[in-house]
Structure 1
Amino acid sequence: MPVTPTTVPPASADLSRLLDAIAQRIGAAHVLRAADDMAPYLREERGLYQGRTPAVVRPGTTEEVAFIVSACAEAGVSIVPQGGNTGLVGGQMPFGELLVSLARLDRIRDVDPVDMTMTVEAGVILDTVHRAAEEAGCLFPLHIASQGSCRIGGNLSSNAGGTAVLRYGNARELVLGLEVVLADGQVWNGLRCLRKNNAGYDLKQLFLGTEGTLGLITAAVLKLFPQPAQRSTAFLAVPDPAAALALLKRLRGEAGDALTTFELMAGFGVETVLKHMPGTVRPFRDAYAWYVLVELSAPTRAFDLPALLEQGLADALEAGEVLDAVIAASEAQAQGLWRLREDMSEAQKHEGGSIKHDVSVPVSRVPEFLERALPAVMAALPGLRPCPFGHVGDGNIHFNLSQPVGMEKAAFIAMWETFNRIVHDIVVEMDGSIAAEHGIGLLKAHELAHYADPVSLDLMRRLKGALDPGDLLNPGKVIE
């Protein structure tokens, strides 16, 4: 595990004056200094880090964010932005810096079903974005497990992926414009809803996926899409990842853009969900080594999706790519099948310690990665229980490792860097990425420094130096 950094706070008298000035501007109720009040903001999802901060400040407008950033820049005080505190790489955790929660920036400024856009503030919960789009007869397609509590600013800052990337792309592909508070407190208003704009550099890309290290996203113009008129969901047992890849190729050829989701799951992961998550239902009489969740969707009823899926799966069964299949006959059945995938991370918590890798390789090489990585990690620790699953349609595998039965959790977690080296060496050799959709944050900053091309690292450091010369925005994250 990486060493937790320490930020030296300013002198207490200077800090007190700064916080008093912020309280006067945004209201004393929104400057939290008591330990109990700050505690929920300082607990990290996986329990890997315990945050520390002199205060949590909660601005309610872009102007208030700008005031706080400007005042901190003048005082030389570092800040860490936080949305829903659901990040998985420690990027939202302060270690002595001032924590700026953007949760109160929670307004939906505009929904335009003609332009197919929605303008939202950074603190809007992702599920709220979904509901607002649906009320306008549209779809916002970013779906992730934490969507009931994560906030859109964090999704954009980490370039979140999710289960529909195969059809719609990552978060950065779902954004037309941004509003950003820069390191000196200036506000860049790039809230444009244009589909075509070649007037200079595409500045929004500087802030998407950079985890608040170059600027604080306060609002965004999101792309909307037609609401699907029909969906068809199936849960499949497959012989192995190679067969899953052949099935992906088959369904892409037959369904085209209607193929929205293609998720691969190891049998151990599905059994873990069935064991620990109440209300889940075994899809087949027999247990299998590998499963796939498939969903087709279309904005019209011009063709019969269930019939298309049934024919594709019939051909796949005949070709030996599928061993067993169940197609949801209702929305309730579809939700039940989705739970077998969506509850996997939560179910893993019941099996003890988990060392997690969020990696990607070219789609065509997913089976090769699993063939190499699985025996390599199992050889390093007898009794290890690998739980690979993820978005094989875009090459992103969550290569999670559950501790051996009976092993002490602390002793297992202490092997994190050992397994990093095994897994990440294979990923990099295969032209993959050590951070597919969760970001770098603090957890992988050392890994990025170890693996990244020196020219790439130099460019990142130069950008950081140009936009945040005082290194006051989320210091120590992404780039060491």
Structure 2
Amino acid sequence: MTNLDHLKRLLPAAAFREDTARYLEEPRGRWQGQARAVVAPGSVDEVSNLLKTCNELGIPVVPYSGGTGLVGGQIVEDGPAPVLLSLERMKAVREFDAEAGTLTVEAGAILQEVHAIAQAEGWIFPLTLASQGSARIGGLLATNAGGVNVIRYGNARDLVLGVEAVLADGTIVNTLSPLRKNNMGYDLRHLLIGSEGTLGVITAASLRLFPKPRETGAALMTVPSPVAALRLLRLAHDMIGEGISAFELIGRTGFDFLSEVGPEVRQPFEEVPEWCCLIDLGLASGSCADALESLFIQAFEEGLVMDGVVAQSEQQRAEFWAIRELIPEANRRIGSVSSHDISVPVARIPDFIAQAPGRLSNINAFRINCFGHLGDGNLHYNVFPQKGKSRSDHEHERDAVKSCVHDLAHELGGSVSAEHGIGRLKVGDLERYGDPGKLAAMRAIKAALDPKNILNPGAVLRAEGL
């Protein structure tokens, strides 16, 4: 009996996917995956049985969520073909406490559907990102996703009260309690969140909900420089406080790309600004439009803004956000030489933006699309070919470009992986820039929880280093 036959005797026929091609594609087209089987268990017990058997047989297992990851965490190109463990069938709502504001869902639940469930009862689950229509809770927690609302609500790990997960040997760990205070031993929740499926497979989570703001609003304000944007952020904190849900920095190239290749959006300014900030509010009382208009007046007097548009409706607010959310699609259509998900201390963002172009010019002439979450120091700093050229013309320079950007982020006290994770793409970067003591502890934890290295081998940590 082959290993695959063994698995088919173990799990129902409904768990096996016939068309596996879509599970092996990587969003940026840089890798092509492989799998001996794609299996979608329907319960935590089925996940447990699958992992126990694969561990006994030495079969590698790669957890698969929405497939939207950008660092190759869900793609295995080389080595033994793994079993892809998809969470797509595990999407039930297990419990919803509308009084306490907690929602327990299985890992296959799609983020956008979680939003709808919470909002129907007057709550919000604030994790918000461009791929929310396909991203699943399990993958979002496995990568400790960030998104646009981190400035107010924190990363994914800050939004989770407990998890259910299955370890490599099939052991089920259940910490789904909705308790806000629980100091009974090590907090495995935070160990598993962000581990990218290398320590266990998250199968369910108790999510922390927040009251739905009575009013929301947004504004786009043009600023003369990133330094001014940073001062505008401080002024917004002083004037509005915790009502700021998002504070995004957008560079001119983002608008140019949208005009050049689409998707088509409504341009809010007659003249495209070099820099602008998208500010989003959610208030329990008072008027968002009034707060934003007052902010603009004060900022204008201080020379921090030159122009601005305050949304007069939810439709206009959505149009502002469409600009920000469609920039990654425009980037994809252009085709980057190298894309970077970096963070630096908020105060050092202007230094990074000022220094990076000069360093890159020593390699070649590029177009740069810099945008991101100014409020939490996370920039998407993407490098593109000049018009008339393609990324294939610069493929030989890709590693040099990446090292240039990552070296500068590290020098400024930052991180080369702000919200996308390590996956397989950044394993070398983790070794290069990571703290040696932390790496040693990570390897020890991996060896203790997954001694046969069957869980997502090659992601986060090199297999040969374990």
State the one-letter code of the partner of 1:365. R
State the one-letter code of the partner of 2:348. R
Asked whether 1:254 is paired with 2:239, we answer yes
The offset of 1:420, in angstroms, is: 1.6
State how far apart, in whole Å, the 2-side matches of 1:78 and 1:244 are. 47
State the one-letter code of the partner of 1:106. K
Asked whether 1:80 is paired with 2:62, we answer yes
The offset of 1:26, in angstroms, is: 2.7
State the one-letter code of the partner of 1:118. L
Q: For residues 68-126 of structure 1, give each alpha carbon's deviation from its aligned partner in whole angstroms, at most 9, with x where no partner exists.
A: 00000010111100001000000011332111111111111111121210001000000
The offset of 1:352, in angstroms, is: 3.0
State the one-letter code of the partner of 1:198. N
Are the equivalent residues in 2 in contact too, given 1:353–1:412 (CA < 8 A)? no
1:115 maps to 100
2:361 maps to 378
State how far apart, in whole Å, the 1-side matches of 2:256 and 2:461 are. 38
The offset of 1:354, in angstroms, is: 4.0
The offset of 1:202, in angstroms, is: 1.1
State how far apart, in whole Å, the 2-side matches of 1:415 and 1:176 are. 44
The offset of 1:136, in angstroms, is: 1.5
Are the equivalent residues in 1 in contact too, given 2:28–2:332 (CA < 8 A)? no
1:320 maps to 303
Normalising by the residue count of structure 2, what TM-score does the alignment of the two structures yield?
0.96
2:10 maps to 25
Are the equivalent residues in 2 in contact too, given 1:127–1:148 (CA < 8 A)? yes
Q: For residues 147-166 of structure 1, give each alpha carbon's deviation from its aligned partner in whole angstroms, at most 9, with x where no partner exists.
A: 00010100000000000000
Are the equivalent residues in 2 in contact too, given 1:91–1:441 (CA < 8 A)? yes
State the one-letter code of the partner of 1:380. I
Asked whether 1:362 is paired with 2:348, we answer no
State the one-letter code of the partner of 1:425. D
For residue 414 of structure 1, give the secondary structure of its aligned residue in structure 2: helix
State how far apart, in whole Å, the 1-side matches of 2:335 and 2:44 are. 42
Are the equivalent residues in 2 in contact too, given 1:105–1:121 (CA < 8 A)? yes
RMSD: 1.2
The offset of 1:135, in angstroms, is: 1.0
The offset of 1:364, in angstroms, is: 0.8
2:259 maps to 274
Residues 353 and 279 (structure 1), Cα distance of their counterparts in 2 relative to 1, 3 Å cut: closer
State how far apart, in whole Å, the 2-side matches of 1:126 and 1:462 are. 33
1:8 maps to none
The offset of 1:328, in angstroms, is: 0.7
Are the equivalent residues in 1 in contact too, given 2:52–2:169 (CA < 8 A)? yes
Which is further off, 276-285 or 110-119? 276-285
Provide structure 2 residue ranges, at least 5 long, that are not aligned to the other structure. Answer: none
State the one-letter code of the partner of 1:361. V
Asked whether 1:417 is paired with 2:402, we answer no
The offset of 1:198, in angstroms, is: 1.2
Identify which of 225, 229, 241 aligns with 1:244: 229
The offset of 1:192, in angstroms, is: 1.0
1:191 maps to 176
2:188 maps to 203
Identify which of 331, 334, 355 aligns with 2:314: 331
Asked whether 1:478 is paired with 2:460, we answer yes
Which is further off, 146-155 or 303-312? 303-312
State how far apart, in whole Å, the 2-side matches of 1:262 and 1:202 are. 31
Are the equivalent residues in 2 in contact too, given 1:263–1:391 (CA < 8 A)? yes
State how far apart, in whole Å, the 1-side matches of 2:361 and 2:128 are. 32
State the one-letter code of the partner of 1:211. E
2:277 maps to 292
Runs of 4+ in 1 over 6 A off after TM superposition: none
Are the equivalent residues in 1 in contact too, given 2:102–2:209 (CA < 8 A)? yes
For residue 455 of structure 1, give the secondary structure of its aligned residue in structure 2: helix
State how far apart, in whole Å, the 1-side matches of 2:395 and 2:90 are. 36
Asked whether 1:102 is paired with 2:87, we answer yes
Map 1:388-427; keep pairs closer than 5 Å: 388-427=370-409
State how far apart, in whole Å, the 1-side matches of 2:121 and 2:395 are. 46
State the one-letter code of the partner of 2:314. E
State the one-letter code of the partner of 2:36. P
Map 1:150-165; keep pairs closer than 5 Å: 150-165=135-150
For residue 415 of structure 1, give the secondary structure of its aligned residue in structure 2: helix
Structure 1 vs Structure 2: percent identity of aligned residues?
44
Are the equivalent residues in 2 in contact too, given 1:272–1:347 (CA < 8 A)? yes
1:172 maps to 157
State the one-letter code of the partner of 1:65. V
State how far apart, in whole Å, the 1-side matches of 2:355 and 2:455 are. 39
State the one-letter code of the partner of 2:113. T
2:327 maps to 344
The offset of 1:378, in angstroms, is: 3.0
State how far apart, in whole Å, the 2-side matches of 1:411 and 1:27 are. 49
Q: For residues 145-185 of structure 1, give each alpha carbon's deviation from its aligned partner in whole angstroms, at most 9, with x where no partner exists.
A: 00000101000000000000000000000000000100100
1:61 maps to 43
The offset of 1:278, in angstroms, is: 4.5
State the one-letter code of the partner of 1:373. A
2:294 maps to 311
State how far apart, in whole Å, the 1-side matches of 2:312 and 2:333 are. 31
State how far apart, in whole Å, the 1-side matches of 2:106 and 2:424 are. 25
State how far apart, in whole Å, the 2-side matches of 1:407 and 1:308 are. 45
The offset of 1:431, in angstroms, is: 1.0
State the one-letter code of the partner of 1:271. D
State how far apart, in whole Å, the 2-side matches of 1:21 and 1:51 are. 23
Provide structure 1 residue ranges, at least 5 long, that are not aligned to the other structure. Answer: 1-12
For residue 128 of structure 2, give the secondary structure of its aligned residue in structure 1: coil
State how far apart, in whole Å, the 2-side matches of 1:414 and 1:185 are. 44
State the one-letter code of the partner of 1:289. E
Are the equivalent residues in 1 in contact too, given 2:258–2:264 (CA < 8 A)? no
Residues 265 and 111 (structure 1), Cα distance of their counterparts in 2 relative to 1, 3 Å cut: same
State how far apart, in whole Å, the 2-side matches of 1:46 and 1:467 are. 32
State the one-letter code of the partner of 2:461. I
State how far apart, in whole Å, the 2-side matches of 1:278 and 1:359 are. 25
Asked whether 1:428 is paired with 2:410, we answer yes
State the one-letter code of the partner of 2:367. R
Map 1:128-143; keep pairs closer than 5 Å: 128-143=113-128
Q: For residues 296-347 of structure 1, give each alpha carbon's deviation from its aligned partner in whole angstroms, at most 9, with x where no partner exists.
A: 112x22x222212111111111111111100010111111111110000001
Are the equivalent residues in 2 in contact too, given 1:353–1:413 (CA < 8 A)? no
1:144 maps to 129
